[in-house]
């Protein structure tokens, strides 16, 4: 019984950590992977910095939007094809 409980607890923790890696809270709203750039701008505003992402031949393939928070964390949103494909929070 204890083994089953420990496995269940580990799975719940892993699931919650995975969900946190794919979303970020901005105020009382949440940005998740798959959100459109319009939704990202509506929730987070204009990025503090936009970095163009290039392939190995130098062609633009996307952007990384960076938002600098007052608490020292940075929110990184990767944009491909008009949608957020990666959401990370760096402390």
pTM over 0.85: no
Q: Give dist(CA 64, CA 59) in Å, integer.
A: 15
pLDDT in tens, 1-46: 666 655 655 555 555 444 445 999 999 999 999 999 999 999 999 9
CA pair distance 5, 83, nearest whole angstrom: 39
What are 63's strand-pairing partners?
52, 79
Residue 33: its pLDDT value, please? 96
For residue 51, what pLDDT is reported? 98
């Amino acid at each position: 019984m204890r083994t089953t409980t420990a496995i269940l607890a580990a799975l719940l923790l892993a699931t919650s950590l995975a969900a946190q890696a794919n979303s970020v809270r901005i105020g009382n709203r949440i940005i998740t992977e798959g959100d459109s750039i319009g939704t990202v701008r509506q929730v987070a505003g204009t990025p503090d910095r936009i970095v163009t992402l290039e392939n190995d031949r130098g062609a633009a393939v996307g952007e990384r939007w960076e938002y600098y928070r007052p608490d020292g964390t940075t929110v990184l949103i990767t944009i491909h094809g008009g949608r957020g494909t990666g959401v990370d929070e760096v402390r």
